[in-house]
Amino acid sequence: MGYQVHKFGGSCLTCIEDISAITSRVRNSLGQPLVIVSAFHGITDRIIEQINRNNEASIEAFVSSVELEHLELIPEIVNSPWSVRFAETLHYLKVKLQSYCENPSVEVRYDALACGERLSSLAISAALDAAGIPAIPGWSEDIGISVIGSGESAQIDARKTREILKLPLGAVPVITGWYGVSNQKIALLGRGGSDLSATAIAETVNADQVTIWRDVQGVLALSPKWSLPGRNLSNLSYTEAAELALFSEPMLHPSAVDPLRIPGIPLRLRPLHAPDLEGTIIGPSLITESPIVRAVGCLPRLVPISWTLSSALSLVESVSDATAALGMARIRVVSIRAQPGRVRILVNQKSATRAERILSERPSLPTPLVGESISILCFVGEGIGQDLSVRSRIEQASIEGGVTLSFNADEHRPHAIHAAVPAQQTESALRALCLALDLLVN
């Protein structure tokens, strides 16, 4: 049998019970296991906080706390073949944090952040080895994970990675997710990027299957964060999963299914602590008699910020200037709609005031106008965007539920329908529409 890729994210790296479950899942792998890991839960956020604090006096204590957190979950590190490299990586993290205090640079920042995945790779290798499963850590920079682009939104270069990838042999490879190398510099794959690492490597080695182990049952028709009993989806097409991922963080990296489409490699999302459950399988499109809405995603509480352009202002330069300024402030632009004479962006409500101030201070941009907070709903299903009866059913359900729903007339997607509701109606809209579309468990 071929490779079985297993990805374990931070939500599966929180306690000793998680580590025990991980060793069991790898031991019981049907084919040759290949493991992708994220940083331990919360480690990346803590490194970011330490970097932003920019306080050299606290670095020593911070690195010691990171070491202790790993040792509490996997004490076997101390006596493992990787103990020296683990200590060296902690020292490397300390040096990078000190270097950033003296001379801040994005290159040093990304290298420090990647230490979370490096430590995780070493720790999980130690845990597997202690459980009688020989394992070898494989860091992205050592095995040839090449990326295109820079910063925090790079993409894996499939062709180059395929040419130079060198997996550790003779044991289970435990590979760092989330980052790769571009022009000999560390680049990050963005939030959820370890999903993309797993699927890109699976495509490269022609794996039989990818399994992303999680702390939830699978994919639901509605995210559990809304406290509504969404139906469990036993299957999704690649297209449905990609559409839903954009609106259901942190379900899956939106680009994660792309490497799997052509080879047709199945992707499973399964619960780590319930291996008897099949979870959700994602694969090629399924032909149904008539299009139906299978899931609803939601990006809640977004604020529209717009500005009008004079004839002297370039549309492209205006958008580029605005997004660059917001990107430097780590404010995510959820959506951009640009047309001659006008630009509208959507940002999270929590960032709106800061975004308005930053844009107002840009001398090259007109004064921005801030609109009322909205939520964007995404109805997902094969072919629903081309079936007028589906949109009519959604419209009728919104009227009957007293929901103010507005569709984007300029957007036509074959497998999704997007609509906006006032932010204060988000919960009531989801309840009414999901009930009408039979997406909730009775």
Domain annotation for the chain: domains and CATH numbers: 3-215 (3.40.1160.10)
For residue 45, pLDDT beyond 80 = yes
For residue 312, pLDDT beyond 60 = no
Q: Using alpha carbons, list the distances in angstroms from residue 395 to 114, 429, 439.
A: 46, 12, 16
Q: What is the helix, strand, coil percentage profile of the chain, to 5?
A: 40, 25, 35
pLDDT of residue 406: 92
Nearest in space to 97 (alpha carbons), one of 65, 131, 140, 69: 65
Express each pLDDT in 174-204 by its tens digit: 999 999 998 889 999 987 889 999 999 999 9
pLDDT of residue 410: 67
Q: How confident is the model at residue 288 (pLDDT cuts 50, 70, 90)?
A: low
* Minimum mean pLDDT range among 160-164, 343-347, 361-365, 432-436: 361-365
Express each pLDDT in 51-61 by its tens digit: 989 899 999 99
Separation of CA 273 from chain center: 21
> With helix as H, strand as E and coil as C, how does 343-390 read?
EEEEEEHHHHHHHHHHHHCCCCCCCCEECCCEEEEEEECCCHHHCHHH
Is 203 in contact with 265 (CB distance < 8 Å)?
A: yes
Report residue 149 as tokens.
């682009």
Q: How confident is the model at residue 153 (pLDDT cuts 50, 70, 90)?
A: confident
For residue 6, pLDDT beyond 90 = yes
Express each pLDDT in 62-103 by its tens digit: 999 999 999 999 999 999 999 999 999 999 999 999 999 998
Alpha carbon distance 146, 131 (integer Å): 32
pLDDT of residue 172: 98
Alpha carbon distance 353, 273 (integer Å): 42
pLDDT of residue 402: 93
pLDDT of residue 250: 65
| CB-based burial label for 227 (10 Å; 0-12, 13-18, 19+) | exposed
Nearest in space to 20 (alpha carbons), one of 128, 132, 154, 180: 128
Report residue 132 as tokens.
């009688």
**If residue 392 lies in a helix (H) or strand (E), which one and from where to where?**
helix 388-400
For residue 311, pLDDT beyond 70 = no
Q: What is the mean pLDDT of the chain?
A: 92
Q: Using alpha carbons, list the distances in angstroms from residue 55 to 51, 58, 102.
A: 8, 6, 10
Report residue 128 as tokens.
């597997």
Express each pLDDT in 233-249 by its tens digit: 999 999 999 999 988 87
The structure's pTM equals 0.90
> Higher pLDDT residue, 319 or 251?
319
In the DSSP assignment, the letter for residue 310 is P
